[in-house]
Chain A
């Protein structure tokens, strides 16, 4: 019946939303404590046991600050683009399956996810342009350059996976890994996918957006406090999404030694997130022309080699 399906959809929506928010909050805490331990200091320890309530306090503090609009800024365009970015990222998280709890199992869902992901640079450009600040515009242009040069290797790896499994549905991809993880079948593809996803999530070593030694704060220079918090939150949701996609596509999803359940998926997601935070703590930033060389020449060649090897091995 239509009403039953509607109730199912709303129930799924609420559960995924709560999961995404909980993970984004948890990643924020984990990053501060883990990077703090690596840098030989305590992270937050004062609010709540082990500093768990620190992010909540920051959330409330940022909500109480005043938003100042510059005279030449375009208010409507800015608001539309910020909320659209948040909306699209949450929509992407909705489409991920968790064991036998998914909303849709069509055979082209992976393509849909990455097409929506590649729509985000346009919104970022609009956001940067509407600030009417010189630094924000330069940084938005660099962001677009970064994001579009890493898309072709990403799609070539997806084609290799789809070729191997004969479908683009995430559930069948995970089910095809019941014997051996894809990490061991295509290691070059894993490396290319990891680098490209680090660029899509705008993390070190590709974090031009927060290059505070070059262009003060990138396209978030002129954002006031509530929208800044929204942008950071969306950042953490994007990294949750990236970690979940890697553990679904390459690390076997919800398969584990003591029976399959969604706990294994969460554990793998947390491991991948720890690895991404570790890279943030140890790497220095690449220059923009070296990033373009890396994306257009090195990664493209590696992904073509990967596709060819999968074709031969099959």
Chain B
């Protein structure tokens, strides 16, 4: 019985701890610099080697044809529903044109068809 009273004492002290949650979306947390979020492609530097499509464990990236002034080249198209943001494609890309940025709010949508991202700048 005495220990229950001790427990109430400990609980009253715990009542003075600070809150741990953050009222989103007015206040947000700060992310570190090497956070792996949304993908970005720099189309002018891409050499169309296809290494990112071959290394992906989940077959997320497919190479699609695009018309340029030098003929038909292939660029990566990403299906965001299958991506699990492991970063292997970023590591294996030779000219480092496929990067993962810190943005996490663009990976939501109301329509499933918007998840297949074309290789334009907003890839």
A touches B in complex, CB < 8 A: yes
- List the interface of chain A (C-beta within 8 A of B): 37-38, 40-42, 45, 278, 281-282
Contact between chains at B8 and A40 (CB < 8 Å): no
One digit per residue, 1 when the CB lies within 8 angstroms of any chain A CB and 0 when it does not, for chain B 14-28 equals: 110111110100000
**Residues of A with C-beta under 8 A to B108:** none
Contact between chains at B7 and A41 (CB < 8 Å): no
Inter-chain CA distance A314–B27, complex, in Å, is: 63
Contact between chains at A45 and B23 (CB < 8 Å): yes
Contact between chains at B11 and A282 (CB < 8 Å): yes
Interface size on B, residues (CB 8 A): 11
Contact between chains at B15 and A38 (CB < 8 Å): yes
Contact between chains at B11 and A41 (CB < 8 Å): no
Contact between chains at A41 and B15 (CB < 8 Å): no
Q: A-B pairs with the 10 shortest C-beta distances?
A: A41-B21, A40-B20, A282-B11, A40-B19, A38-B15, A40-B17, A42-B21, A41-B19, A42-B19, A42-B23
- List the interface of chain B (C-beta within 8 A of A): 7-8, 11, 14-15, 17-21, 23
Cross-chain pairs A/B with CB under 8 angstroms, 22 sampled: A37-B15, A37-B19, A38-B11, A38-B14, A38-B15, A40-B17, A40-B18, A40-B19, A40-B20, A40-B21, A41-B19, A41-B20, A41-B21, A42-B19, A42-B21, A42-B23, A45-B23, A278-B11, A281-B11, A282-B7, A282-B8, A282-B11
Name which residue of chain B comes closest to A46, CB basis: B23
Name which residue of chain A comes closest to B15, CB basis: A38
Inter-chain CA distance A145–B7, complex, in Å, is: 29
- Measured CB to CB, the closest approach of chain B to A192, in angstroms, equals 14
**Residues of B with C-beta under 8 A to A282:** 7-8, 11
Given A38-B11, A40-B19, A42-B21, 15 additional A-B pairs, CB 8 A: A37-B15, A37-B19, A38-B14, A38-B15, A40-B17, A40-B20, A40-B21, A41-B21, A42-B19, A45-B23, A278-B11, A281-B11, A282-B7, A282-B8, A282-B11
**Residues of B with C-beta under 8 A to A45:** 23
**Residues of A with C-beta under 8 A to B23:** 42, 45
- Measured CB to CB, the closest approach of chain B to A127, in angstroms, equals 33
- Measured CB to CB, the closest approach of chain B to A234, in angstroms, equals 29
- Measured CB to CB, the closest approach of chain A to B105, in angstroms, equals 19
Inter-chain CA distance A41–B17, complex, in Å, is: 10
